[in-house]
Chains A and B, each alone.
Chain A
Amino acid sequence: MNVNYIWYFLTFLTLVSAIMVVVVRNPIHSVLYLILTFFCISAHYVLLNAQFLAAVNVIVYAGAIMVLFLFVIMFLNLREYTAESKTNLVKLGAAVLGGVLLVIIVAALRSMQIEPLNKATYNSQVGMVESLGKVLFRDYLLPFELITVLFFVAMVGAVMLGKRETGERNF
C-alpha cells in the first residue's frame, strides 16, 4: 500500500525532527526543526482527512507561534553558544525517566479494546469546514466565545509584561 509508506515516512520524520528540537544546541535550528515537526503533523492531519485542522495547524502553529518564537530568539540575540548548566547525570536520568514513562504508557494501553470501524455509519466529511463549523457554533458556542475573552486577557497580559517601566534602561 502506498499510503502506508507515506505514513511510516511521515511518522519517522516527525519523531526525528522532534528529537532534533530537543537535542540541537542552537535555538534557531531548534525552531526550524519544530516548524518541520508541525508541517509533518499537518500532513498527518491531511492523511486523516482533517483538512480544516491541517490548514489551521499550518497557519496558527507554523505561521504565528513559530514567528513569535523566532522573533524572540533573534530579539534576545541568543545565537552564540552558551554552556548549559545541567550535568550529564541529570540528562541521563531524564532520558531514562522518559523511556520508562513511554514503556508504562504503552504497557498500560496494551489491553485496550478498540471497537472495529463501522463502515455503514462512517462519515468521512467530519474534518471538513462545514461539519466542524456546525458543531463549533452549535454545541461549543460558549467555549468559543470564552476563547475570545482568553485572547483579550492574554493580549493585555503580554502588553503589560512587555512594557518598559519608567527609568528602566533599554537592552
Chain B
Amino acid sequence: MQPTIPDVVQTIPLPYYIWFASALFVIGIVGVLTRRNAIIIFMSVEVMLNAVNLLLVAFSAYRSDPAGQVFVFFIMAVAAAEVSVGLAIIVMIYRNIQSIDIGLLNRLKG
C-alpha cells in the first residue's frame, strides 16, 4: 500500500498544518474583534470554522482514520444551518435600525 500514500502526507510534517490552521483561526478572531459590519463578522466566523475543518482533515489523513472527516461533514452541516439563521437575524436587524453596524446595537443592554 506504500506507493498510494499521498505526497503531501509523506513530505509535509503535520505541525505545518497545525501552524497553518492556527494562523487561519487567529485571522478569523482578529476579524471578529476588529470589524463592525455584522456580515463580515459572520464571514470571519466561517474562516474560523474552516480552520478547524482543515485541521481535522489533516489529522484524519495523516492517521488514515475516517472519523475526523465525518466530523468535518457534520461541522459543514451545522455551519450551513447557522448561516441561514444568522443571516435572517441580520436582515431583521437591518429592518429595525437600517444598519448592520453592531456598534448601534448597544441598546440591547439590559
Contacts and interface: CB of A to CB of B under 8 A. Distances in A.
A127 B84 contact: no
A166 interface: no
A38 B11 CA distance: 23
B94 A76 contact: yes
Interface string B8-32: 1111111110111011111111110
User: How many B residues are at the interface, by size bracket?
Assistant: 35 or more
Interface string A120-154: 11111111000110111001100100010011011
A119 B27 contact: no
Contacts of A140: 70, 74
A114 B5 contact: no
Interface string B42-67: 11101100100110011011101111
Contact of B73 (A72, A90, A132, A168): A132
B89 to A, nearest CB: 6
B104 to A, nearest CB: 8
B35 A84 contact: yes
B108 interface: no
A168 B35 CA distance: 30
A102 B26 contact: yes
A120 B5 CA distance: 11
B22 A72 contact: no
Contacts of B57: 44-45, 48, 50, 53, 127
B8 A135 contact: no
Given A53-B72, A76-B94, A162-B88, 16 more contacts: A1-B7, A15-B27, A18-B27, A22-B34, A27-B37, A60-B79, A61-B50, A69-B42, A75-B91, A84-B36, A109-B22, A114-B14, A147-B74, A158-B85, A161-B88, A168-B95
